[in-house]
Structure 1
Amino acid sequence: MDEHVDILDEHGKPTGESCLKSEAHRKGLLHPTVHIWLYTSDGRVLIQQRGKDKSTHPLLWDVSVAGHVSAGEEIVAAAIREVAEEVGLTISESDLEPLGTFKAIHKISEDFIDAELHHIFLCQLSVPLNQLIKQESEVEDLTLVPLFKFAEETWGLASVGKYVPHGPTYYKTIIKEIKSRT
């Protein structure tokens, strides 16, 4: 979906401008997104396999839930909306544990520069995996993976071609934060 997104300056502050997501990607304009990592009390993390028709990193494994923040939308509202859309789970603001932001700029092609400021949250998953309903157009598959295995595959980059390349610093942060809660 080609929604309007707010444009941010190099420090992550709103410029007061917005444009279509496709234009932001074409011009490499920084814009906000949300990443919500769902984890279980017994130390497993929910990962999603991106849909086969995604324009970036199709079929790679990624954050539990992620999405763009629509122009004028509050960050927390976007996180709650994305969780409902992508995995069919209703959560509230009190379920979200903010971890901060992570700036990521990836040049996909000459006319596609993905410049995003990820607002990262943790959220404890309290329902079984089989109760989640994946958004068919966005999500190919969902699975719970033990945190140790996830760390081994991302932190050590043992499975480089399996996951979206967020980089070791990003993955280390997520793993440490989940580990401290389980």
Structure 2
Amino acid sequence: MDELIDILDKSGNKTGKTAMKSEAHKNGWYHESVHIWFYTKAGQVLIQQRAANKDTHPLLWDVSVAGHIGAGEKIETSAVREVKEEIGLEIEEQSLEKIGVHESFHQHSPTLIDNEFNHIFICELSVPFNQLQKQESEVNDLKLIPLITLAQETWGLAQVQKYVKHGAAYYKMVLSAIKERL
């Protein structure tokens, strides 16, 4: 889905300009997104398999919920909206814990240059897994896996054909933050 987003400079500062997401990707303009990682007190992490029709990383496993921040939209408001859209869960902004910003710059093709600043949050999953409702157009599958499994499969990038390649440092930051809360 195309949407209007804010354009940033290479340092992540807003430029005052907006563009459609497709235009930003075509031109490699910097923009923001949210990543929300859900975990359980039992030490599990919710992962999402991206839909087959996605422009980038189709059918790879990824962050619980992710999406672009709408133009003029508050970061936390965007995160709450994306959670509702992608997994059908209503959360409060206060339940989100921001753990950092990750710079993700990738040229997927000559006409798809994704230069994003990912605002990363963690959030305890407060409902049973079977109450989640995946957005069919965005999400192929959801599953809970042990934190240790995700660590083993992503830190050394042992499963490069299974997960989106955010890099070992990204996964270490997320998994360390979740482990501290258990």
- The TM-score bracket by the shorter chain reads over 0.9
- 1:158 alignment counterpart: 158
Q: Unaligned regions of 5+ residues in structure 1, if any?
A: none
Once the 2 structures are TM-superposed, how far is the Cα of residue 74 of structure 1 from its aligned partner? 0.6
Aligned to 2:117: 117
CA distance in 2, matches of 1:157, 1:167: 8
Task: Name segments (4+ residues, structure 1) moved above 4 Å.
Answer: none
Aligned-residue offset at 1:11: 1.2
Instruction: Give the structure 1 partner of residue 5 of structure 2.
Output: 5
For 1:99 and 1:8, the matched residues in 2 are separated by 21
> How far did residue 10 of structure 1 move?
1.2
Q: Secondary structure at the match of 1:142?
A: strand
Q: How does 1:21-170 map to 2 (within 5 A)?
A: 21-170=21-170
In 1, the alpha carbon distance for the partners of 2:11 and 2:109 equals 24
Alpha-carbon deviations, 1:145-181, whole Å to 9, x = none?
0000000000121111100010101001001111111
Q: Give the number of aligned pairs.
A: 182
What do the CA deviations read for 1:40-98 (whole angstroms, capped 9, x no partner)? Answer: 01110000000000000000000000000011111000000000000000000110001
* 1:173 equivalent in alignment to 2:176: no
Distance 2:127 2:101 in 1: 27
Q: Deviations over 1:4-24 (max 9, x none)?
A: 110011111100000010010
Across the aligned residues of Structure 1 and Structure 2, the Cα RMSD in angstroms comes to 0.5
1:66 alignment partner AA: A
Length-normalised TM-score, structure 2: 0.99
SS of the residue corresponding to residue 180 of structure 1 reads: helix
SS in structure 1 at match of 2:84? helix
